Amino acid sequence: MSEQRTSYGVQATYSCHENYTLIGNENRTCELEGWSGKQPECLVDWCPEPPTIVGGTVKVNDRRAGSTAIYECEQGYVLVGEPVSSCGLGGEWSGKSPSCRFVDCGSPARPDHGVVMLLNLTTTAGSMVRFECDDDYWLEGASELYCTTEGKWSGDVPICELVTCDTPTVPPGSFVVGYDYNVHSKITYNCDPGHVLRGNSVLECLDTGEWNTEAPFCEYIDCGAITPIPHGIHKYTMNTTFVGSEVTFSCSQAHKLSGVPKRVCLESGIWSDMSPKCEEIRCTEPILAPHSLLSVTGNDRMYGRTLIRTSESIQNSAQTYRIGALAKYRCERGYKMVGEALVTCEDNGQWSGTVPECIYVECGPLSNIDRGKVTLATNATYYGAAALYECDINFKLDGVSRRLCTEDGTWSHETPKCIEITCEEPELSENLIMEAGERSIGSLAKFRCQRGRTLFGNDTRVCQKNGKWTGKSPICKPVDCGRPLPIENGRVIVVNETTLYGGSAEYHCVPGFNRIGQYLRKCTEDGAWSGDEPRCELVATEAQESSGLGTGIAIGATVIIALLIMIGLVFIHRNKARPVKNTENVQAAETKDERSAAVMSYSTLEANNRMHLDNGPPVTFNTFHGAGRGLSNGNRTIGRENIYDQIPNEQLYDAPYEMRTNDEVYEPEPTTANMITINGISVR
């Protein structure tokens, strides 16, 4: 202590005994908060002997604080821990004592196709090992390894690989064939088409990894184009001219090849053999059969002319013929040919087919025919002769006019006949009638038309020697009466607007006028309307009408009652109404607002019967349709009663709308003004 007190400001000094060392502040001062710093310590500064280790040694230079101890392991051991330890204050060695661990790398793996050798016969740390390969294999990797302190060999185990040679060079124009490039393997060099190999074609891979010789090379060789041959063509098999190429020869038509058909390009650069030649193919003179003639066409030596050969001329001829020439055989008169008449010079230099034969044929004489004669054209009856037939006047041949003697010894066709010349029945137009006899030459045919038709053209025709009728057939046209002339104070109605034969015309008078004459006229076959033309006259005065009014009313009432009774009886028995008057037309007329007079006609229209005579059943238009049915106004009905059916065609008829019963006729009389007359009935 600096003073003998422990109050503020006093300083304390620390010191240690021998073999101890002060650790901390040597001096401390008493301050307001207490002594400054921390309490120091006195630690021992001398260490005991460091601990020993198994399999190793320790070296110490001193044991005082700060001294070091070094640990080392024996052979085959590896130090585990820190190799150096320091003596620290307090008398302790720093850290933990290391240890020596025994190290063995083990036997290394033996490579395939190789061996392993331990140089120092151990596998502990620091040991050496060497690797070697079998024959034809080489080592890939380090040949020697050592065992490290980590217990591992210093590298990977090497491998033994089969010896291989480098990829061989391939010169231009060549290619190599081989399975692989391993030791003792062989490869073969080949050249592309047109090349020749120079050098060894086979190379072998040695155990040194090299080829036994240098690679060969391929030399290109071309023989060039062939000179064309006359009348021939040549063709390169592969369209090439280099070495090994082939060229074939052929000749044009009518020529054959003389020489080799093929040449080859050799390694010397020239074509083998000599080019062939093309020689023309020709046929010799054809054989001539007895009784035959021979004509040859198409021989170029004679400029296309036809050569005629006989048995005499052919013996002294050395003529040859080109391919395609035609030889035609013909027989002498009376001889027929057996075999093919036409032969051709073929491309083999021979004539086609066989030589035909000529055999004599006789058909015999012919007899004359009735009403005619036969003439031999050449006055002969052998093969090929002709017989001509002709007939007497007004007769013609039925059959052929010319017969030939055929090769089988008979005359061709059947013997003809002479028949009388007649005219065929002429074509007749519609409604035309012909009267003719046998229609022989000079016969007369007469023509006429059916009733109601007029003939246009000649009414007779004559059959001529050539079997044709003179002139042309006439035609029939319907008779046309023309439209009838109009009447004064009346109207003419042409039924169905037809004025042809059978047509009808109705005559009507205006109110206040009575018709004098027939009501209906027909077109007759002479082209005139039947009967005389009616006229319309003014009716009687009112004074005359009033004088007979009472009598007329009584008579009219009596007639009406009688007619009603008759109609009722007929209705009961026939269940069909028979109208006394055209009440339907009356009812229809009452609906009219017009007060002035008018004239109408609802007569029967026989359209088909009058426009087309005899062409089918009549179609009628009737205004009477029975009780209880409406007014038809021209509706078409078939099979109805026709009031005109009671009129004979040749008679005149004056009251078309009357109903005939027991020879009594009812016909209404004209009435006063402001009435309408319908079908002869006056209504208000």
Q: What is the DSSP letter of 555?
A: H
Please report whether residue 261 resides in a domain: yes
Q: Is residue 237 over pLDDT 60?
A: yes
What is residue 249's predicted lDDT score, i.e. its pLDDT? 93
Please give the Cα distance from 468 to 462 (Å, whole number): 8
Q: Do residues 514 and 464 share a domain? A: no
What one-letter code names the amino acid at 550? Answer: G
The per-residue pLDDT of the chain, averaged, comes to 76
Q: Do residues 274 and 290 share a domain? A: no
- Among 309-318, 327-336, 381-390, 627-636, the minimum mean pLDDT is found in 627-636
Q: Is the dihedral of CA 381, 387, 392, 393 positive or negative?
A: negative
Q: Do residues 299 and 341 share a domain? A: yes
Tell me the two tokens of residue 171.
């010169």
Q: Is residue 609 over pLDDT 60?
A: no
Q: What is the DSSP letter of 65?
A: T
Mean pLDDT score, 565-574: 78
Using alpha carbons, select from 38, 153, 55 the residue that is nearest to residue 104: 153
**C-alpha separations of 12 from 8, 17, 325, 648, 675 in Å:** 12, 17, 160, 189, 178
Q: What percent of the chain has pLDDT over 70?
A: 78
Q: Do residues 496 and 533 share a domain? A: yes
> Which is more confidently placed, 492 or 313?
492
What is residue 633's predicted lDDT score, i.e. its pLDDT? 36
What is residue 90's predicted lDDT score, i.e. its pLDDT? 72
- Residue 295 near residue 309 (C-beta atoms within 8 A): yes
Q: pLDDT, tens digit, for every residue of 47-59? A: 888 888 888 888 8
For residue 175, the number of C-alpha atoms closer than 13 Å in the C-beta half-sphere is 3
Mean pLDDT score, 645-670: 36
Q: Label the pairing between strands 27-31 and 34-35.
A: antiparallel
What is the arrangement of strands in the sheet containing 681-683, beginning at the earlier edge strand? 599-600, 676-678, 681-683
Please give the Cα distance from 605 to 637 (Å, whole number): 10
Q: pLDDT, tens digit, for every residue of 291-329? A: 888 888 876 654 445 667 666 665 556 778 888 888 898
Q: What percent of the chain has pLDDT over 90?
A: 10
Residue with tokens 């392993």: 116
Q: Do residues 305 and 350 share a domain? A: yes
> Using CB atoms within 10 A of its CB, is residue 380 exposed (0-12), middle (13-18) or buried (19+)?
middle
Q: pLDDT, tens digit, for every residue of 427-484? A: 888 888 888 777 888 888 888 888 888 888 888 888 888 888 888 888 898 888 988 8
Please give the Cα distance from 463 to 74 (Å, whole number): 163
Q: Do residues 259 and 291 share a domain? A: no
Please give the Cα distance from 553 to 402 (Å, whole number): 101
Indicate the pTM of the whole model: 0.32
Q: Do residues 215 and 271 share a domain? A: no
Q: Label the pairing between strands 99-102 and 357-360.
A: unpaired
Using alpha carbons, select from 75, 31, 38 the residue that is nearest to residue 56: 75
- Residue 682 near residue 657 (C-beta atoms within 8 A): no
Please report whether residue 26 resides in a domain: yes
Q: Do residues 294 and 336 share a domain? A: yes
**C-alpha separations of 126 from 46, 53, 74, 77, 224 in Å:** 39, 21, 12, 10, 78
Tell me the two tokens of residue 134.
């079998």
- Structural domain tally of the chain? 9
Residue with tokens 């020596």: 100
Please report whether residue 652 resides in a domain: no
Q: Give the range of the structural domain holding residue 127, as residue numbers without chain letter.
A: 114-162
Q: Is residue 83 over pLDDT 70?
A: yes
Q: pLDDT, tens digit, for every residue of 157-199? A: 899 999 999 888 888 888 899 888 888 899 999 988 888 888 8
Please give the Cα distance from 222 to 271 (Å, whole number): 10
Q: pLDDT, tens digit, for every residue of 334-345? A: 888 888 889 998
The CB-based long-range contact list for 637-646 (8 Å cut-off, 24+ gap) reads: 642/604, 642/606, 642/618, 643/603, 643/604, 644/504, 644/520, 644/603, 644/604, 644/606
Q: Is residue 374 over pLDDT 60?
A: yes
Q: Do residues 274 and 292 share a domain? A: no
Q: Do residues 470 and 402 share a domain? A: no
- Residue 413 near residue 436 (C-beta atoms within 8 A): no
Q: Do residues 185 and 129 share a domain? A: no
Q: Do residues 148 and 198 share a domain? A: no
Please report whether residue 629 resides in a domain: no
In this prediction, residue 263 has a pLDDT band, given cuts at 50, 70 and 90, of: very high
Q: Is residue 213 over pLDDT 60?
A: yes
What is residue 311's predicted lDDT score, i.e. its pLDDT? 61
What CATH number corresponds to the domain at position 75? 2.10.70.10
Please report whether residue 630 resides in a domain: no
- Among 25-34, 100-109, 139-148, 663-672, the minimum mean pLDDT is found in 663-672
Q: Is residue 331 over pLDDT 60?
A: yes
In this prediction, residue 551 has a pLDDT band, given cuts at 50, 70 and 90, of: low
Please report whether residue 39 resides in a domain: yes
> Using CB atoms within 10 A of its CB, is residue 53 exposed (0-12), middle (13-18) or buried (19+)?
buried
Provide the total of helices (H) and of strands (E) in the chain, helices listed first.
4, 52
Q: Is residue 410 over pLDDT 60?
A: yes
What is residue 13's predicted lDDT score, i.e. its pLDDT? 81
Please report whether residue 323 resides in a domain: yes
Q: Is the dihedral of CA 505, 647, 508, 628 positive or negative?
A: negative
Determine the distance from the C-alpha atom of residue 391 to the mean position of all C-alpha atoms in its chain, rounded to a whole number. Answer: 63
Q: Is residue 678 over pLDDT 70?
A: no
Please report whether residue 671 resides in a domain: no
